[in-house]
Structure 1
């Protein structure tokens, strides 16, 4: 038997088909972009130019630009005049055994391959280069406005009219083409995986700080303490797994999507309505739609994972005056206002400093100095024996409740000015630290540091582990 070109071609097709089946049967969704680089300067001039592209077509053919071929430039002006968005496709003519599949001219739109000459040296010697004919994919770019009949296509980007005043085209961030790996498309990698990793990390850090400050472990039986540890355990697990995914190279989007779906399931038990929400179906050809929906769902679930429910603002030091600005909603009945005192003085010394009325006065920023000079009564601060569970605990922090009484003229001044200030005596304040918040005080022969923060704590709601439930034991009205 004499070997003919058909024998070699048949062997090549058999090898290619076997490899294709192996990939399709063992790896789901094995087509898409591995990485792509679009020239941004050309895009600003209404031209779509691909600098670099590595992709695998749905039929299994792999392509690398510019190593294997070059792609023509698309003029976007006329396209965007017709439609607000235009999708760009990588296109290769379909393979047909009954017609010529190889041509020498790129003008042949039906030929799947083009013949070109390559200078190939002897790789053993590095010399003796010879001209060898090779065939390359006859690839091109098509838009969604063109006929795709007779082509195998792969969407690689979507361009839209810019919303900015410059009106230059831009890559549509809401569209994500089929991908071989998540890191092949920066908007998906950063705006979904990266964003969720940061959100989870912030939430986990806050809960971890609460558990650490209150020395909570699984032997604790206080209200909400077991819930906090369960939330922290779940957040630790999913944050660690997602951190591995975002740092790894080549994670397929389907596997990343399964990981995100697992996160939805783990967080669902902490929702106000316990139950597994509907998870969007995975769509390899429209990755943006399913990934962004799933990201938003996870962020909604994270918002229901309880955090310490308070707002904190530091008092800023101005000479002997420490003052802070208040938010208007803090004056309603749903909020408690507490002053946190961080000092190297012991708790009893701090209480003596605040109770005597001779060393400081509390009022609005405009009135505090006058209150001190006149020896008038200011706002009453009551030491809190059992702070709200939301607040961080520390051995060098004491909490004092600000008495809110609209019948008092000084409180009305605070409400009007949206400020609160503590005016210390000159004999007490001896220096300031560079942070602008901490003062150095001399009290009862001791030199110590002191800083104030205002905490606004809303009343608790159901299933919130760190809210405040008003009771005579939580905030005593007398010291």
Structure 2
């Protein structure tokens, strides 16, 4: 089988320079040669283009933001300005503002935001390097089309720490640009999207994900990843075998194990990306695509070919589609409106659990399930009197002072979202009072089941209101 190799072609709409513009030939130095600015400029271009060529060959999509933040107060007053930004332009020019490079001048939004549009994209822009033209302006009045502007700084001799000299350095001629303005001759990098509210005020669009080379550059990507990890951890807890439970290896049990394997295999690398925060968005997209493709196994009308492809210039669109695919397929396997808060035994008679899913603290119904192999009537009567449920920190004090926790009411018919088990009784939990307030604050739940229950099997379930 022969593989066809397609020649590399550059997107006409991209900001990548043509290969012919790169200078990959070093200057030849020889004794007695006359030195002029051209020699050092050519050597500098050789170093820059060699580094750019190597990084673009070794790493995929190596341009974008490393971090950045819009001045929110200025935007509310109709002006777009940056607090800080750092990253790499598509042609390889790096920037770190304001630490190494000055922030671009703020721009008023009023006259540049068309009344017919509700969103405008904001770019960082810098003049492209001209192979045979002016790239550094000595006079600020000529800085319009120049890539750099010469400015004088006083530097010390690094060997002696003395001997100050005035040295002219090139300041990057970076500016803010809106997508309503012409961008000819400029290299641009999207940094934000601004939308107009119903009252006419300007606000940053929270759904926008700029091209970036680190996950931490986008609060939206980090939020999406954190939410996905919470859901996967919840599913993993729901499908894991309870302590002492033995697998039956039935057909249904095998499907359960495969689904649990799919979740746990994805959870570990996703957690690493979330806590390291330095991964490239493509790394996250690969892990999410692997999970999305595996979940297609459990859906009859789904195939990995339908998954979105990675688009570095439209990260919001491709990540939104992939995230929606994953969450929908997780719901196909088990309804997401019934969640389980895993309880672990701490001391004798005491259990604790962590509320990982934020939805549990919103509009929801909490249900306590208990079974001990005793008589049904006995369990129904003694559970509301003896079992105490509150925040983890409060339960020991309630036991010491013989005070009640949440009020428990037996449910003759549990909510339909709950998969009931024979021999188990279900009780609704009243979410009110200091116990609930402290659970919302700490996200920690405590349960006390006294010795009157011989071998209790307890569960804490949450049904999310639709």
- Give the TM-score taking structure 2 as reference length: 0.67
Given candidates 94, 118, 121, the residue that maps to 1:84 is: 118
Partners in 1 of 2:132 and 2:42 — Cα distance? 14
3-state SS of paired residue (1:247): helix
Where does residue 174 of structure 1 map in the other structure?
Answer: 207
Any conservation in 2 of the 1:42–1:48 contact (CA below 8 Å)? yes
Q: Structure 2: how far apart are the matches of 1:19 and 1:42?
A: 37
Query: Which residue is equivalent to 2:157?
Result: 122
Q: How far has the Cα of 1:133 moved from its partner?
A: 1.0
Is the alpha carbon distance of 1:392 and 1:76 closer, same or farther for their aligned partners in structure 2, counting shifts above 3 Å?
Answer: farther
1:100 alignment partner in structure 2: 134
1:249 CA displacement: 3.4
Give matches, 1:38-49, under 5 Å.
38-49=70-81
**Equivalent residue of 2:122, what SS?**
strand
Which residue pairs with 1:335 in the alignment? none
Pair 1:283 & 2:323 matched = no
Q: Residues 192 and 204 of structure 2 are in contact (CA less than 8 Å); yes or no, is this contact kept in structure 1?
A: yes
Structure 1 residue 263, shift from structure 2 partner: 0.9
Q: Deviations over 1:109-144 (max 9, x none)?
A: 111110111121223443333221111211111111
- Asked if the contact 2:311/2:318 (under 8 Å) is kept, the reply is yes
Post-superposition offset of 1:311: 8.6
1:305 and 2:333 are equivalent in the alignment: yes
Q: CA deviation at 1:92?
A: 0.9
What is the number of residues matched between the two proteins? 358
* 1:161-213: CA deviation from partner (whole Å, max 9, x where unpaired): 125x5x421111222121111111111221x21221111111111112xx225
For 2:424, the equivalent position in structure 1 comes to 399
> Are 1:51 and 2:100 counterparts?
no
Counterpart-to-counterpart distance in 2, 1:122 and 1:380: 82
Contact 1:203–1:307 (Cα < 8 Å) also in 2: no
Number of the residue aligned with 1:363: none
Question: CA separation in 2, counterparts of 1:258 and 1:213?
Answer: 34
Residues 266, 216 of structure 1: CA spacing in aligned structure 2 closer, same or farther, 3 A cutoff?
farther
Distance 2:238 2:140 in 1: 61
**Which of residues 272, 275, 294 is equivalent to 2:322?**
294
Structure with larger Rg: 1
Pairing 1:191-270 to 2, within 5 Å after superposition: 192-208=224-240, 211-212=241-242, 215-217=245-247, 220-270=248-298
Residue in 1 aligned with 2:104?
Answer: 71
Work out the CA distance in 1 between the residues paired with 2:293 and 2:220. Answer: 25
Q: TM-score, normalised to structure 1's length?
A: 0.65
Measure, in 2, the Cα distance between the counterparts of 1:269 and 1:240. 20
Q: Which moved more, 1:272-281 or 1:138-147?
A: 272-281
Which segments of 5 or more consecutive residues in structure 1 lack a partner in the other structure? 313-337, 361-378, 383-387, 403-417, 419-434, 458-479
Deviation at 1:100, TM superposition (A): 2.2
How far apart are the structure 1 equivalents of 2:42 and 2:461? 77
Unmatched segments (≥5 aa) in structure 2: 1-32, 341-366, 386-409, 429-444
SS in 2 for 1:226: helix
Is the Cα contact below 8 Å between 2:370 and 2:426 reproduced in 1?
A: no
CA RMSD for the aligned pairs? Answer: 4.0
